[in-house]
Amino acid sequence: MPERSNHSPQQDGAEKFTETFTIARNKFSSDHHMKEAHFHDGYEIYYSMAGEKNYFIKDKMYRVCKGDLLFIDRYELHKATSTSRLERERVLVYFKTNLFDARQHLLQDPLSPFHAGSPVLSLPVHEQKFVEELFHKMIEEYRDRRRNYLLCIEALLAELLVFAIRCNEKRLENPASDPKSLHPKITEAMQYITQHYTERLTLGMLAEKFTTSPYYLSRLFKTMTGFSFVDYIAAVRIMEAQKLLRDTNRNVIRIAEEVGFDNLAHFYKTFKKLAFASPLQYRKMHR
């Protein structure tokens, strides 16, 4: 792999991506982590070259270690936190759907790593070398930006996705246990919130449902996911609001009520914090 690229603005945080494709290789200190949970209108691929991270995606937690590939689908809520005091190094790829206009079938394949089984692929050493070489070439193309560089990047990315699809095919032939949540109570609580986000939810209510104390559940939630209980519920509700803004013509007041907000001002403030735009601006950008 080459020296880390500084051509991309990406960091381990809630970025706003505007390009069709970006890639960056970066090192981070042990105490650097995402400040906010977020989601994008494009696809994200994370490759760990050193260190470990806990990655929360949708309603599950995964531990990502050296040699692991992680695939994050469009509009999928995610957040990462460090798990050790070791420095981390990673390659982060982000691309939008229009990069693959001619190869949509790779994104829609039933075994696509973006929506089939676990989003984590743990690679043996020889496969790590193969994947790192692909990233090496992508970084060079993105850095130099010579004629038709996006075509070359598309071809390299297609090769990576075909490789991942074949890895998922092997999983079906020789099934192994997928990475599980780091704590079953947190997984159950997150899944419950995802299914009942429109209802009134309190920490005490969930603690009673999952037979634990509110203090323990709150502390466990924060430790394992990086979210407070309240912040996680808000993020799930905003994600659903974005979906309604993209896919329906319902007005903002109705959408706020449908996703569980009983205070319109709080809805606007939370939406802007997570989506970097007001609800109406967001709808306009995605129409």
**pLDDT tens, the chain, 287 aa long:** 433 443 333 444 444 555 889 999 998 775 555 556 777 889 999 999 988 888 888 777 788 889 999 999 988 888 887 665 667 899 999 999 888 777 888 888 999 999 887 899 999 989 999 999 999 999 999 999 999 999 999 999 999 999 999 998 887 776 554 444 456 777 788 889 988 999 999 999 999 998 889 998 898 888 777 778 898 899 889 989 988 998 899 999 999 999 999 999 999 999 988 888 899 998 988 77
Do 45 and 126 lie in one domain? The reply is yes
- 266 falls within a domain: yes
What's 120's DSSP letter?
E
Domain residues for 197? 184-285
Residue 260 lies in a domain: yes
SS3 46: strand
Residues 101 and 140 in one domain: yes
Residue 195 domain flag: yes
Last residue of a domain, one of 144, 173, 202: 173
Write out the two tokens for 205: 């209510």
Which of 137, 152, 173 lies at the terminal end of a domain, its last residue?
Answer: 173
Tell whether 103 is covered by a domain. yes
For residues 204 and 228, membership in a common domain is answered with yes
* Domain count for the chain: 2
How far is 81 from 62, CA to CA, in rounded Å? 11
How many whole angstroms separate alpha carbon 129 and alpha carbon 243? 38
Report how far residue 274's alpha carbon sits from residue 258's, in angstroms, rounded to the nearest whole number. 18
In a domain, 12, yes or no: no
CA distance 59 to 56: 7
Which residues in 253-274 are b (16+ Cβ under 10 Å) and which e? eebbeebbbeeeeebbebbeeb
Q: Is residue 33 part of a domain?
A: yes
